[in-house]
């Protein structure tokens, strides 16, 4: 089953590899593009949806 996440800045990721893959990518995106934003892993997981 695929999963997706969309950032408020417009960045979106769809992955067929599952939620852990999406979490890795959204974590990297937040660190590199929103470095001042403090978001926990559980908050990021809440934004990941199955498709």
**The predicted structure's pLDDT at residue 22:** 97
**The predicted structure's pLDDT at residue 32:** 96
**The predicted structure's pLDDT at residue 21:** 96
pTM: 0.90
| Domain range for 40 | 3-50
**Total count of domains within the chain:** 1
DSSP per-residue letters across 1-51: --EEEE-TTS-EEEETT-HHHHHHHHHHHHHHH-TT----HHHHHHT-EE-
**The predicted structure's pLDDT at residue 1:** 84
What are the average pLDDT values for consecutive 10-residue runs of the chain, which has 51 residues? Answer: 95 96 97 95 97 94
């Amino acid at each position: 089953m695929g999963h997706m996440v969309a950032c408020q800045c417009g960045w979106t990721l769809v992955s067929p590899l599952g939620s852990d893959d999406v979490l890795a990518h959204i974590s990297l995106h937040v660190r590199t593009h929103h470095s001042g934003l403090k978001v926990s892993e559980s908050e990021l997981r809440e934004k990941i949806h199955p498709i």
